[in-house]
């Protein structure tokens, strides 16, 4: 099981830093409570999605509004669309949408196509908030499980997996590979990977 992250006021941008090198951290501990709804960044990598991006956002923003009204997430929560070097009008549409709703939709354009996982990593590095939920642009993900994921996050979980029924093993292996790649890219060689329980 992964260790719980010790947050501090000095190193909030690298949440594991104080666990890796506590002898160098002299900052005061940062108290984390579940009383305040977390700010969630919904990160969506996009590649040639001009046909469906508007429909995706309409549905997603509707679901996010419900979560905000239920006070499950902060009103500052937002969607981050990452254009992965699309060759169609995807970026043009993303830019138009984000300019029209800057508080609800943000945009990130990559200089070229780097692949889904690298686009996701770019979104993770660019996000501002308490947590990130990654989604596919084609609405394959079930938004009904988001509330349960947030409950687990508020309960102290560092990473929460939502696994589709019937694809548990494949999804678990894929998620583990992605998590290891992201952790290695963001962190340092001192980070050791540990077995992680899978929770739906």
DSSP symbol at 102 = T
Assess contact for 49 and 124: CB atoms under 8 A.
no
Assess contact for 162 and 145: CB atoms under 8 A.
yes
Round to whole Å and give the CA distance between 4 and 16.
9
First to last CA, the chain: 16
pTM: 0.65
Q: In what order do the strands lie in the sheet with 78-83?
A: 105-109, 78-83, 40-46, 131-134
Over residues 81-102, the pLDDT tens digits come to 999 999 999 999 999 999 999 9
Q: Is the pLDDT of residue 21 over 50?
A: no
């Amino acid at each position: 099981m992964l260790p719980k992250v010790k947050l501090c006021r000095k190193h909030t941008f690298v949440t594991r830093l104080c666990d890796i090198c506590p002898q160098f951290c002299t900052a005061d501990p940062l108290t984390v409570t579940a009383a305040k709804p977390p700010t969630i960044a919904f990160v969506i990598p996009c590649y040639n999605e001009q046909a469906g991006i508007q429909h995706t956002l309409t549905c997603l923003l509707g679901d996010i509004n419900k979560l905000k009204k239920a006070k499950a997430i902060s009103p500052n929560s937002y969607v981050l669309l990452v254009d992965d070097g699309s060759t169609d009008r995807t970026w043009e549409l993303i830019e138009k949408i984000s300019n029209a709703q800057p508080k609800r939709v943000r945009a990130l354009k990559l200089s070229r196509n780097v692949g889904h996982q690298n686009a996701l990593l770019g979104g993770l590095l660019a996000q501002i908030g308490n947590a990130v939920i990654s989604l596919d642009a084609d609405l394959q993900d079930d938004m009904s499980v988001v509330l349960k994921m947030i409950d687990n996050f508020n309960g102290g979980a560092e990473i929460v997996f939502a696994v589709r029924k019937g694809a548990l093993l494949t999804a678990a292996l894929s998620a583990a590979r992605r998590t290891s790649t992201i952790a290695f890219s963001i962190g340092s060689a001192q980070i050791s990977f540990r077995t992680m329980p899978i929770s739906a």
